[in-house]
Structure 1
Amino acid sequence: MDVELLKMLAADPLFEGVSAQQIEDMSTFSQEVGKLHLRLKRYKKGAAVCSAGEVISSFGLVKSGRIIIERAGFGGESALIGTAGAGQLFAEVYACSRQPMMVTARAEGECEVLHIGLESLFACRREGAERVLKNLLRITAAKNLALTRKISCITPRTIRGRLAEYLLYMYSLHGSAFDVPFSRAQLADYLNVDRSALSAELGRLKKEGLIDCRKSSFVLSPEFINGAV
């Protein structure tokens, strides 16, 4: 296995508690029985890694670049569901369920994805494989919590309420100054609001002195943090 890839896997949460030697021993880029099947593939900007309606048997680990998870709505417009950056997994729930995908995973720019065969992980009897399965379960549970968090962000009826829910969550993680992992358009998609209306609401919050923002950077005032929105 490539040294750079092995080093990345050894540092990834999926392989936490598994040594580099164990990873190399359990993995194969062929179809060798009893080992974890891996396939590394490069994607160009905008290319679909896996598409809505597809039934998949492997999940992805981003080696480099970023994956956008989106769902096509009525009329062909796409709504952002989430993202996966370097070292992050995607599509593992669909690989486990063997149900048709409801979303499309697309390369935001040039990227590399390591496809991991789920059935080969279940069948792998090499040392460390059981720990990888436990890590996968833990990561999947954390993603379910993130989905619940998103639902809480889009529950308020007003744009201000949705913004407050999301920004206060970011505050709980990073303090009063932070960068969000979205562009303005992506944040609007995440909160399920119109981009222009979102920009207008951000402008009002800024004018009222409740927040300061520039592109993806935000600073929250004590009044905003204490609920004066």
Structure 2
Amino acid sequence: MKQHITLFTDILPEEQERMRICFNAREETFRSGETIMEYAGTMQKIGVILYGRAVLYCCDTDGDENMIDELNKEAVFGEPFLLPSDSQHYYVVAAEETRAMFIDYEHVIKRCENACHHHSQMVSNLLQLTALQSRQQMERIYVLSRSTTRQKILSYLNALSAEKQSDTVRIPMSYTSLAQYLSVDRSAMTRELKNLEEEQIIEKNGRNILVRKYRLQI
């Protein structure tokens, strides 16, 4: 099984404490609806969700707001993962009470005089997380490129099943958020999920879904 990578993978607790001082780490708690971070045009800081849930949004020049990603515990965000363009405004908003830690990007890329192990390990983890997020963004582009609501739902469930290596998956967000994430109408998505249940392609219990792959056609 693949190792679950976080910013602190293979960094001992005592090293994490030294890292917080070395990297000038700061923690802050946000209420639901509060803006956690607005992206700048340059790579300035990295954020880590310590607990809670947040959403990354993008607002274009027409003022249209689009959900880009949902961020849960240990999720990493910031300009290094999605360098904003001048025509789009990216920002992270707390979906519930959320605590985040912030690290200046400059402290990560500049080696300290001691060349400590935890610094090198964090850079390695950061590179792996960047590659992982790039892959996830490509998978979402594929899902969004599907022409119908049904195809988008099935492509998303198939990708989630492959990621979890299980036919039973749990939608990691509300169905309202999922509709926004898939860029489909909420009512249309609900009808299509019901159709998929009636056709016995999926079995739904709340946000838990069993995907019968032998009947899956995308």
**Which residue pairs with 1:191 in the alignment?**
182
TM-score by length of 2: 0.85
**2:193 matches 1:209:** no
**Which residue pairs with 2:108 in the alignment?**
121
RMSD between superposed Cα atoms in Å: 2.5
Higher CA-based Rg: 1
Alpha-carbon separation, structure 2, partners of 1:37 and 1:81? 28
Match of 2:152 among 148, 152, 162: 162
SS of residue in 2 equivalent to 1:187: helix
Alpha-carbon separation, structure 2, partners of 1:74 and 1:200? 32
8 A Cα contact 2:31 2:96, kept in partner: yes
**2:15 matches 1:22:** yes
Identify unmatched segments of 5+ residues in structure 1: 1-10, 29-34
**Which residue pairs with 2:6 in the alignment?**
13
**Which residue pairs with 1:32 in the alignment?**
none
SS of residue in 2 equivalent to 1:37: coil
Letter in 1 for 2:126: L
Cα 1:75–1:92 change in 2 (3 A) is: closer
Alpha-carbon separation, structure 1, partners of 2:56 and 2:49? 13
Letter in 1 for 2:69: G
**Which residue pairs with 2:29 in the alignment?**
42
**2:152 matches 1:152:** no
Alpha-carbon separation, structure 1, partners of 2:200 and 2:5? 41
Alpha-carbon separation, structure 2, partners of 1:146 and 1:120? 26
Q: Which protein is richer in helix relative to its size?
A: 1
Deviations 1:35-75 (A, max 9, x none): 21111111111001112566561111111111111123576
TM-score by length of 1: 0.81
Letter in 2 for 1:183: S
8 A Cα contact 2:23 2:107, kept in partner: yes
8 A Cα contact 1:50 1:105, kept in partner: yes
Cα 1:98–1:207 change in 2 (3 A) is: closer
Alpha-carbon separation, structure 2, partners of 1:77 and 1:153? 20
Q: Give the aligned length.
A: 210
